[in-house]
């Protein structure tokens, strides 16, 4: 029984790392495709988790949510550096939007992949099958919730950045400026949303997505 519990915890940690570290790498990789070598030159396109771990976002917050029985799990890694001016110069605002949404796209693809394989291990009995089942289940859940969370139009989340670039593309300069102005207060807004019933409504699309992919 203890071995199974260890397998479950390891499955959770591994799935979380794959979700949030891959999310950040994808930002840098897409930017690199548009000529920005910032992330590559700093070694941030590596799959080595040590270069991406944020003590708070990668370890403390997810662990707190998991062990307190929170209805959702999320976290973050150290942001991969991107020179958005280089990206925009080479690919326009469309490229900037692609960079902003790259991590979310990765999370959704990974969630669908995990959901596709999950029926193959629906009866976890031994330690190996228990690990496989909980790994795929957590991989699906974490990626869906991470994708939905990052789509919120609140800076510094990806949804806000994509909206800002789209507004600049359309010439909606007041909207782009407004998003820039609320940037310093973004984390406060996020903490308020997560700590109140508002968060339940904001995460409802994740439940819809889970039902869709399953």
> What are 15-41's pLDDT values in tens digits?
988 998 999 999 999 999 999 999 999
Beta strands in the chain (DSSP E): none
The reply to whether omega before 152 is within 30° of 0 (cis) is: no
Beta strands in 86-167 (DSSP E): none
Quote the radius of gyration of the chain (alpha carbons, Å): 18
Q: Note whether 138 and 66 are within 8 A (CB).
A: no
- pTM of the entire predicted model: 0.88
- Does the pLDDT of residue 123 top 70, yes or no? no
Comparing 1-15, 29-43, 161-175, the range with the smallest average pLDDT is: 1-15
Per the document, the length of the chain is: 214
Residue that is written with structure tokens 């699906």 in the block: 140
> What are 52-81's pLDDT values in tens digits?
888 777 777 777 777 776 666 666 778 899
Sign for the CA dihedral angle at 177, 182, 187, 193 comes to negative
Percent helix, strand, coil in the chain, to 5, is 75, 0, 25
- Does the pLDDT of residue 119 top 80, yes or no? yes
2 against 90, higher pLDDT:
90
Question: What's the rounded Cα separation, in Å, for the pair 87 and 34?
Answer: 5
Sign for the CA dihedral angle at 18, 203, 158, 30 comes to positive
Q: Grade residue 172 by pLDDT with cuts at 50, 70 and 90.
A: very high
Q: Note whether 150 and 159 are within 8 A (CB).
A: yes
Determine the pLDDT at residue 58.
74
DSSP string across 181-195: HTGGGHHHHHHHHHH
DSSP string across 68-122: TT-S------PPPP--HHHHHHHHHHHHHHHHHHHHHHHHHHHHHHHHHHGGGG-
Question: What's the rounded Cα separation, in Å, for the pair 146 and 107?
Answer: 7
Q: Which residues are catalytic?
A: 24
> What are 104-118's pLDDT values in tens digits?
999 999 999 999 999
- Does the pLDDT of residue 2 top 60, yes or no? no
8 against 125, higher pLDDT:
8
């Amino acid at each position: 029984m203890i071995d199974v519990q260890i397998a479950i915890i390891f499955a959770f940690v591994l799935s979380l790392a794959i979700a949030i570290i891959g999310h950040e790498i994808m930002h840098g990789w897409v930017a690199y495709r548009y000529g920005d070598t910032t992330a590559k030159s700093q070694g941030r396109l590596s799959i080595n988790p040590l270069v991406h771990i944020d003590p708070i976002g990668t370890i403390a917050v997810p662990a707190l949510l998991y062990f307190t029985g929170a209805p959702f799990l999320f976290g973050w890694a150290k942001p991969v550096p991107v020179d958005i001016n280089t990206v925009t110069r080479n690919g326009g605002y469309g490229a900037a939007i692609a960079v902003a949404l790259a991590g979310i796209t990765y999370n959704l693809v990974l969630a669908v992949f995990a959901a596709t394989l999950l029926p193959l291990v629906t009866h976890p009995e031994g330690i190996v099958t228990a690990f496989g089942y909980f790994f795929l289940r957590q991989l699906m859940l974490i990626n869906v919730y991470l994708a939905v969370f990052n789509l919120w139009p609140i800076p510094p989340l990806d949804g806000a950045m994509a909206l800002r670039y789209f507004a600049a593309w359309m010439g909606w300069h007041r909207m782009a400026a407004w998003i820039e102005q609320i940037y310093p207060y973004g984390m406060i807004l996020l903490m308020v949303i997560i700590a109140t019933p508002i968060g339940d409504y904001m995460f409802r699309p994740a439940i819809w997505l889970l039902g869709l992919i399953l």
